[in-house]
Structure 1
């Protein structure tokens, strides 16, 4: 029969071996390159460990380790992609735009754990908080946007606004999460009839814009032509102005010369001006210079003498040829 002392001894040795085994197995831990660890001392979090490799700690139950991933996570809002199949959740993605239209919008949020202690202890379910914050941010931004922006060229701005609002909410909740990126996947209308009506409106708007651009192009063309014609008229007017100024300067110079001659020989200049004026006014009239000498009127027939003036003799060479 085994003695009680022997039983106690065997039990004590077993407990000692178990205790040594627990100590041996729980005083060290490893951290992978993609992980980060938090040491808990009697449930209280210590500094996080992110250096990969072998590390040591006090044995359990004094200290134990919680490991979290450092990789980037993806939150799929409004749909679920699994095994190559996509499942939509229209009830979650249906929302109203700022101009009171209904759209279906889903998106992907890229996030990571940046503070393991807060992620573990500041909230019971940080991912649920992130999901609700994503829903609130997207609905808020879509609710202040127009349907045209949500469906066409305004997606990038909506993504930026959603990311900014979501980041501020996550920072406010202080759950140790950072938002890296927000990407809208699909923004579409709820049914075929609405899609067709919106497509018709979009096509009409595009046609209107095309016509407006063509009219603007025609307007610019005509304005350029009118501008060119205006410049040509101004150029001709400037040339005419310059020509008239030069003629006026020439007339002034002639007048000054005549005036100087007139001051020296008033009678002769007066008669000369009269004759030149008559020739200009009556170019075909016969002009005679007459001299009144007593009772007999004599005149000098200049025109007749010009007519009777003999022609100059022809050159000798031409006579020889004849």
Structure 2
């Protein structure tokens, strides 16, 4: 230990201790000669203390060289060891040499030349990044928000959406753009203004609203590829109410939108009604057509049959005209009498007064029709009062019958 009144440590003594330890470590100093040299060196150091470092500082030159070499080797190893680095999964390391791009390495244990010759920068290439486009900041010059843009029919709509992207080229991401995130925002604004500028306002708010996101994504990717910023657009997410008119005319456009929805509803109902009615009408038309064809075929066949029958009757009529006329007369009367109510009257009694109770006959006919009795049946008449017949000459009756037969 140091004494209380001791001064600062002697540098010569410290240096000698260092040399002794270093020489013993490498075995470069002999036993006797080293000790003699050490003693003479010590004496020389004592004698020449007035002219050396710190009053007699005179280190051994060989030991000093060995110490410097060891220090240099250790420092070199430490310096070279700083070049090792680990790249995690989902990352890429961009190596630069004196500030210029050298190479890109993937995940794993890697090595590069230590600083300041080479450096590396880790970049996440699989991470999904997001940026919002369409801020609510009001531009003083126009009084509109930054999200406002002009449509093809010179109306104004406000669009807000989020862009999701990831890196596909770490080198381009670091060296081709000063501010890649701002480049993404500018490319998104350019793309959406071009897409909306080719749409009418009604289409942008209703029919073609779902087409805005894919069109913006395709155009935005084209712009980023043209500028080589190493970014891949993953998706465009329209925010809630992302496409809307300015607040000053929001109510009017809501009414227009409701009217459009009502029109679509009425159109759908009309189409549903048409889909229900048209097939039934077509079925009815087909049925009527088939019935008409059947009626036509039946009438034509009946007419042809009647014509054939008439030709047959004509041939018979030419052979026997009177017989044919009588036959036709009888057939016609048969058809007529079979469909009418008939009243049978007995005329052989020779009464000059005939009693016909027509009211009872009509009631009887109605009752028979209600009961299903054929109308051709002859109704039963009440018996007429028996008249007093004068005597009839039988010979006169027979003579009359003979004359009738001769006439025929």
Matched, 1:122 2:173: no
Show CA shifts across 1:121-145 (max 9, x none): 2222222222211110111111222
Show CA shifts across 1:34-91 (max 9, x none): 31111223333233111x2211122222222121112121122124xxxxxxxx4353
Distance 1:181 1:105 in 2: 16
Residue of structure 1 in register with 2:86 after alignment: 30
Q: What pairs with 1:64-143 in structure 2 (closer than 5 Å)?
A: 64-70=119-125, 71-79=127-135, 88-90=136-138, 91-143=145-197
With over 3 angstroms needed to count, the CA separation of the structure-2 counterparts of 1:221 and 1:37, relative to structure 1, is: closer
Q: Is the 8 A contact 2:166 2:232 kept in 1?
A: yes
1:21 is matched with which residue: 60, 78, 88?
78
Q: Deviation of residue 14 (structure 1)?
A: 6.9
Whichever structure has more strand as a proportion of its residues is: 1
Show CA shifts across 1:17-44 (max 9, x none): 555433222x211101131111223333
Matched, 1:187 2:243: yes
Distance 1:244 1:32 in 2: 95
Residue of structure 1 in register with 2:294 after alignment: 239
Matched, 1:203 2:258: yes
Q: Deviation of residue 220 (structure 1)?
A: 6.3
Residue of structure 2 in register with 1:274 after alignment: 325
Show CA shifts across 1:151-199 (max 9, x none): 33533210000001001000100111111111121222221x4111111
With over 3 angstroms needed to count, the CA separation of the structure-2 counterparts of 1:12 and 1:131, relative to structure 1, is: farther
Alpha-carbon RMSD across the aligned residues, in angstroms, is: 3.6
Secondary structure of the structure 1 residue equivalent to 2:116: coil
Distance 1:209 1:134 in 2: 33
Q: Is the 8 A contact 1:23 1:60 kept in 2?
A: no
Q: Is the 8 A contact 2:316 2:324 kept in 1?
A: no
Matched, 1:156 2:210: yes
Q: What pairs with 1:157-306 in structure 2 (closer than 5 Å)?
A: 157-185=211-239, 186-191=242-247, 193-214=248-269, 227=282, 229-258=284-313, 261=316, 266-268=318-320, 270-279=321-330, 299-300=404-405
Q: Which runs of 5+ in 2 are unaligned?
A: 1-52, 139-144, 337-401
Q: Which runs of 5+ in 1 are unaligned?
A: 80-87, 285-296, 304-322
Secondary structure of the structure 2 residue equivalent to 1:181: strand
What's the TM-score, normalizing by structure 1? Answer: 0.71
Secondary structure of the structure 1 residue equivalent to 2:146: helix
Distance 1:125 1:218 in 2: 59
Q: Is the 8 A contact 1:115 1:177 kept in 2?
A: yes
- Further displaced range: 217-226 or 92-101: 217-226
What's the TM-score, normalizing by structure 2? Answer: 0.57
Larger Rg over CA atoms: 2
With over 3 angstroms needed to count, the CA separation of the structure-2 counterparts of 1:113 and 1:205, relative to structure 1, is: closer
Residue of structure 1 in register with 2:117 after alignment: 62
With over 3 angstroms needed to count, the CA separation of the structure-2 counterparts of 1:259 and 1:69, relative to structure 1, is: same
Distance 1:211 1:176 in 2: 50
Q: Deviation of residue 213 (structure 1)?
A: 4.7
Distance 1:4 1:171 in 2: 70
Q: Is the 8 A contact 1:155 1:184 kept in 2?
A: no
- Between the two proteins, the alignment pairs up a number of residues equal to 275
Matched, 1:45 2:67: no
Residue of structure 2 in register with 1:294 after alignment: none
